[in-house]
Chain A
């Protein structure tokens, strides 16, 4: 019986191969999307959850009260972790970590040989107890308790020592900025997993951080915020209560502080990392929710299309059903047959979708920046089989009940009539699907235009042909010589140095004061430390005054601000005015036009540029266009003369600039795929409906043709019915698309315009695609010989 059923099912598939194929592809695409999104969501949810202490692991965040509102950030005073642990019994232990992202790459080596650039961080002794980075060698209780200790990853051990055997006790040399120190390897850990937010290759002891701070002239006190503070709480601690207790902790240590504290679960932060005015306001969880919703929608639409096509094709099978009933088939047998068909089709679609996922995985990883794998284990396959069965049952049951419910006589005589509710449901589906398509197309265009806008925006400086690299090793003491030598290279247009890489400036101060400032106001100024020639190297335009220059001896007492700063300060004639920068009196010598050193999401903030070549960390070199390769090679050999053995690790400024917009680029790429998939699935739905409609009207078409209707007239008749509904969906979708895109664009301070033609174009595209899809069916119906249609009656 089973065997017989299956054979029949396949014969049926072959007979209706076009509808079978459409159904299969539609479902498989839906499944493939859902699987990819499912894998992505599962990966997102797993980030930072692998720590065994996860339930007790908390991070302390700060709320700083500013004039502009409350700013939430994760950098805390160095003393916080140990003081909290000492004063609150709820805390099992605490760890201060100066995370890798505070530094550029370190240069590490074994005895001056084999220099490697890599990421590292500093942490207090409990680090490996609080976090579950697997220690291969060494005791988590004490690997970091020694002042000179360093724990390195297996990968780093292999590249430095070529082995992980007998590495404990060996010397490990590290340098950052101009500081060079030795440490002793005390342990080896497996490395950071891909689903860890923190990525680093070695961990130095916290005393090394204190030493580094001293060497860099950084003071450790309650007003200086740099490391992160992590807490492992005792089980059963009421975090709400603890938060109310630690809230004013810093204010008790430093009078006049505007900082309040609170602890959040560490693994909670990855998805819920955004704060607005001190209150949690989403984060990546929004993308997780959005994508989950999209996956459900895609599955839903694919499933409904499946049902639609199945019922649309039903009229072809009415006779079979009628005959079966007359020869004694019960309803149950018919339901089993049709549901069985649906389940088998669903499983075939699932197999195809897994192949699709496997095929598209590299591309998907590229777009999302993830390293997802398709692992066909029970944990993956069981839910998949479950989804198949459920989808098969749900999609098969409706047509089965629908088809088997008819009176056999009415089927054998002709076509049974349908209720108007059913017709409305079908039309509603067209409107719904094409509405989504229009939204997706419009979103795709808007996102693409915004990305283009970002690329082409005049930033107020020239980011092209500029490379930058760390000011490190011997370049630090011999900076003037290095700069002079570099300038001699024919392909170099200009050289300067700056505190950071310019893009996404990380340094700011509240310590700017000027005459007439409201003493209560806490106004944040971005700070850029620079050398001479910086403004020239970057081609930043001066609005007034001059830039820093060697010709003046006392540049340390001067500063340059941007126009946004002038606006905030409300100065009429800024040049020559004296302001106070962190207590030092400095004179404004120049005003630069606003330039975008931060993401275009933000308005240009007030900026002060101070002359301080001793605290710059990055070299910037402007190359002459056309001979970059040659020039970089020459710069590399110059660099090697100063820092023998150091890898020359440089970056292009325009590339770094683009990285600011990685998220937007991803959204742009993804939106293209989603628009494509949305349109594909909608078309399949429409295709099914058109097939259904022309099947329904077969007799009418036949009669019209017998009475002299031309093919074109029949096609207009069939098409106009659908176009009407697609047009309605356009009317509904346009305001929705406008609203969504307007909201998205509002997250950019600088943005492209939402022109009417974007929506018109989306509508025309959706309409064109719909017309093509429907016309195929209409053409088939219109060119059929009318006698065939009429003879069937």
Chain B
């Protein structure tokens, strides 16, 4: 699915070039659950953002299903965001002015799904995450774990093939964190490809494969059985 070849990301200042990522080669197949680990500043979020088409590499090749996705036009990028991938953030990034229901519904509106179908799809997900009673609440009225559940619901409602999670448990207590990880695992079991960035060894263990980054270089890439 994902093929990264010799990806560099660097910033030039007057006298030196600072590398965030250096010569990263990565192959991720359909249905994988990858955890990216590493200390602060090791480039894991940058890597995730490049995979998510939110950032562009300075050099190297990146293709999705053998199709290069570098130098995509704005419209094509939006298409990938609508139909191919979903995002989960550490700070949830829900829209505060909208209810739980509306937050989950938003991607469908942008996708142009009909109102009736939207209702059914959102209702399904609310049911699955046990949040039917909370659908009319605003994000501030929920606990962090619940907010992140809404975040996941929003990310997967468009049935993406790829789910990108940037420290999804970073702001959560361990019990709630585990609940989120269980949810991700279940999604992966259903066939969704997931890439998560995390600091937490235990939660990284949910992944089937663990990649360790250090100073922008892939130090370890191991199967986790």
Q: Which chain A residues have a beta carbon within 8 Å of chain B's beta carbons? A: 1, 4, 8, 11-12, 15, 319-320, 322-331, 333, 407-409, 412
Q: Is B172 part of the contact surface with A, judged by Cβ < 8 Å?
A: no
Contact B96 A328 (CB under 8 A): no
Q: Which B94-133 residues have C-beta < 8 A from chain A?
A: 94-98, 102, 106-107, 109-111
A1-B109, A409-B49 known; A328-B95 Cβ under 8 A: no
Which residues of A are found within 8 Å of B102, using beta-carbon distances?
4, 8
Given A327-B154, A328-B111, does the pair A412, B106 have CB atoms closer than 8 Å? no
Query: A409-B49, A412-B89 given as contacts; is B97 within 8 A of A327 (CB)?
Result: no
Please indicate the chain B residues that have their CB under 8 angstroms from the CB of A11 in the complex: 97-98
- Given contact pairs A408-B54, A409-B49, A412-B89, A328 touches B158 in the complex (Cβ within 8 A): yes
Residue of A nearest to B166 (CB): A412
Residues in chain A near residue B203, CB distance under 8 A: none
Give the contacting residue for B95; candidates A324, A330, A412; CB below 8 A. Answer: A324
Question: What DSSP secondary structure best describes chain A's contact surface?
Answer: helix
Q: Among the listed A8, A329, A407, A409, which residue makes an inter-chain contact with B97, where contact means beta carbons less than 8 Å apart?
A: A8
Interface flags for B65-90 (1: CB within 8 Å of A; 0: not) read 00000000011001001110011010
Q: Are A12 and B97 in contact (CB under 8 A)?
A: yes
CB within 8 A of A330: which of B78, B87, B94? B78
Residues of A within 8 A of B154 (CB): 327
Establish whether residues B110 and A327, one from each chain, have CB atoms under 8 Å apart when the complex forms: yes
Question: Any chain A CB within 8 A of the CB of B220?
Answer: no
Task: Name B's A-contacting residues (CB within 8 A).
Answer: 49, 52, 54-55, 74-75, 78, 81-83, 86-87, 89, 93-98, 102, 106-107, 109-111, 154-155, 158
* Given known contacts A1-B109, A409-B49, A409-B54, A326 and B81 CB-to-CB distance under 8 angstroms: yes
Give which listed residue, A4, A12, A15, A328, contacts B82 with CB less than 8 A: A328
Known: A322-B93, A323-B93, A333-B110. A328 touches B78 (CB 8 A): yes
B49 to A327, Cβ gap below 8 A? no
Given contacts A328-B78, A412-B89, contact A320 B96 (CB under 8 A): yes
A–B Cβ pairs within 8 angstroms, 24 of them: A4-B109, A8-B97, A8-B102, A323-B93, A323-B94, A325-B81, A326-B52, A326-B54, A326-B81, A327-B81, A327-B86, A327-B106, A327-B110, A327-B155, A328-B78, A328-B83, A328-B111, A328-B158, A330-B75, A330-B110, A331-B74, A333-B110, A407-B54, A409-B55
- Residues of B within 8 Å of A326, CB to CB, are 52, 54, 81, 87, 93
Other-chain residue from A8, A325, A330, A331 in contact with B98 (beta carbon distance below 8 A): A8
Other contacts beyond A1-B109, A328-B111: 19, CB < 8 A:
A4-B109, A8-B97, A15-B97, A320-B95, A322-B93, A324-B95, A324-B106, A325-B78, A325-B81, A326-B81, A326-B93, A327-B87, A327-B106, A327-B107, A329-B78, A329-B110, A330-B75, A408-B54, A409-B55
A412 touches B74 (CB 8 A): no
Give the complex CA separation of A323 and B147 in angstroms.
14
Please pick, from A328, A407, A408, the residue contacting B110 in the complex, using a CB distance under 8 A: A328
Hey, which chain A residues are within 8 Å of B106, CB to CB?
324, 327, 329
Question: How far, in whole Å, are A322 and B166 apart by their CA atoms in the complex?
Answer: 15
Residues of B near A412 (CB, < 8 A) are 89, 93
Which 6 pairs of residues, A with B, have the shortest CB-CB distance?
Answer: A328-B82, A328-B81, A409-B54, A327-B107, A328-B110, A323-B93
Question: In the complex, which residues of chain A have a beta carbon less than 8 angstroms from the beta carbon of B110?
Answer: 324, 327-330, 333
Expressed in whole angstroms, the Cα–Cα distance for A412 and B91 within the complex equals: 10
Q: How far apart are the CA atoms of A331 and B95 in the complex, in Å? A: 17
Report the separation of the CA atoms of residues A1 and B109 in the bound assembly, to the nearest whole angstrom.
8
The residue on A at minimum CB distance from B98 is A8
Chain B residues near A4 (CB-CB < 8 A): 102, 109
Residues of B within 8 A of A322 (CB): 93
In Å, the complex CA distance between A324 and B111 comes to 12
Chain B residues positioned under 8 Å from A319 (CB to CB): 93
Chain A residues, Cβ within 8 Å of B109: 1, 4
A407 (CB) vs chain B CBs: closest residue: B54
Given the interface contacts A328-B81, A328-B111, A331-B74, does A320 sit within 8 Å of B89 by beta carbon? Answer: no
Contacts of B97 in A (CB 8 A): 8, 11-12, 15, 320
A325 to B79, CA, bound (A): 11
In the bound assembly, the distance between CA atoms of A320 and B106 in angstroms comes to: 12
How many angstroms between the C-alpha atoms of A518 and B86 in the bound complex?
101
Closest to A412 in B: B93
Which partner residue on chain A sits nearest B110 by CB separation? A328
CA distance A326 to B160 in the complex (A): 13
Residue on B with the closest CB to A14? Answer: B97
Write out the residue numbers on chain B whose beta carbons fall within 8 Å of the beta carbon of A327.
81, 86-87, 106-107, 110, 154-155
Q: Which residues of the other chain, B, contact A333 by a CB distance below 8 angstroms?
A: 110
Q: Which residues of A contact B86 (CB under 8 A)?
A: 327
A326-B55 Cα distance, complex, nearest whole Å: 12
CA gap between A202 and B55 in the complex, in Å: 85
A325–B52 alpha-carbon span in the complex (Å): 12
| In the bound complex, CA of A356 to CA of B102 (Å) | 37
Bound form: Cα–Cα A329–B102 in Å: 14
List the A side residues contacting B75 at CB < 8 Å. 330
Which of B86, B109, B111 counts the most chain A CB atoms within 10 A?
Answer: B109
- Complex CA distance for A330 and B155, rounded to whole angstroms: 17
Residue ID in chain A nearest B80 by CB atoms = A328
CB distance from A783 to the nearest CB of B (A): 22
CB distance from A570 to the nearest CB of B (A): 86
**Assembled-state Cα–Cα distance A407/B54 (Å):** 8
B94 adjacent to A328 (CB under 8 Å): no
Alpha-carbon distance between A327 and B104 when the two chains are bound, in angstroms: 10
Complex CA–CA separation, A732 to B160 (angstroms):
60
CB distance from A218 to the nearest CB of B (A): 82
User: B66: shortest Cβ distance to chain A, in Å?
Assistant: 23
Bound-state Cα–Cα, A322 to B91, Å: 13
Cα–Cα, bound, A325→B94 (Å): 12
User: Among the listed B55, B74, B95, which residue makes an inter-chain contact with A323, where contact means beta carbons less than 8 Å apart?
Assistant: B95
Contacts of B81 in A (CB 8 A): 325-328
Q: Kindly state the separation between the CA atoms of A408 and B96 in the bound complex, as whole angstroms.
A: 17
* Bound-state Cα–Cα, A1 to B89, Å: 26
CB neighbours of B74 from chain A (8 A): 330-331
A319 to B81 Cα, complex, angstroms? 17
Determine the chain A residues whose CB is within 8 A of the CB of B111 once the complex forms: 328
Residues on B with beta carbons closer than 8 Å to the beta carbon of A15: 96-97
Residues of chain B within 8 A of A409, CB atoms compared: 49, 54-55
Could you say which residues of chain A place their CB within 8 Å of the CB of B49?
409
Interchain nearest-CB distance for B19 vs A (Å): 19
Task: State A319–B103 Cα separation when bound (angstroms).
Answer: 14
User: With the chains together, A328 CA to B55 CA distance in Å?
Assistant: 15
CB-defined contacts of B107 to chain A, threshold 8 Å = 327-328
CA separation between A330 and B54, bound complex, in Å? 14
- A320 vs B96: C-alpha distance in the bound complex, in angstroms? 8
Residues of B within 8 A of A1 (CB): 109
- Whole-angstrom distance between the alpha carbons of A408 and B166 in the complex? 15
In angstroms, Cα B102 to Cα A11, docked, is 13
What's the nearest-Cβ distance from chain A to residue B121, in Å?
Answer: 14
Q: Which residues of B contact A320 (CB under 8 A)?
A: 95-97
Give complex CA distance A168, B74 in Å. Answer: 83
Could you tell me the distance in whole angstroms from the C-beta of A484 to the nearest C-beta in chain B? 88
Q: Please indicate the chain A residues that have their CB under 8 angstroms from the CB of B89 in the complex.
A: 412
What CA separation (Å) do A144 and B122 show in the bound complex?
A: 85
Which residues in A have their C-beta under 8 angstroms from that of B54?
Answer: 326, 407-409
* CA of A409 to CA of B110, assembled, Å: 19
Smallest Cβ-Cβ distance to A327: which chain B residue:
B107
CB distance from A239 to the nearest CB of B (A): 62
CB distance from A488 to the nearest CB of B (A): 86
B210 to chain A, nearest CB (A): 25
How far apart are the CA atoms of A333 and B155 in the complex, in Å? 19
Across the interface, name the chain B residue whose C-beta is closest to A11. B97
A31 to B147, CA, bound (A): 43
What residue of chain B has the Cβ atom nearest to residue A9's Cβ? B97
User: Which chain A residue lies CB-closest to B54?
Assistant: A409
Please, which residues of chain B bring their CB within 8 A of the CB of A408? 54
A3 CB to nearest chain B CB (Å): 10
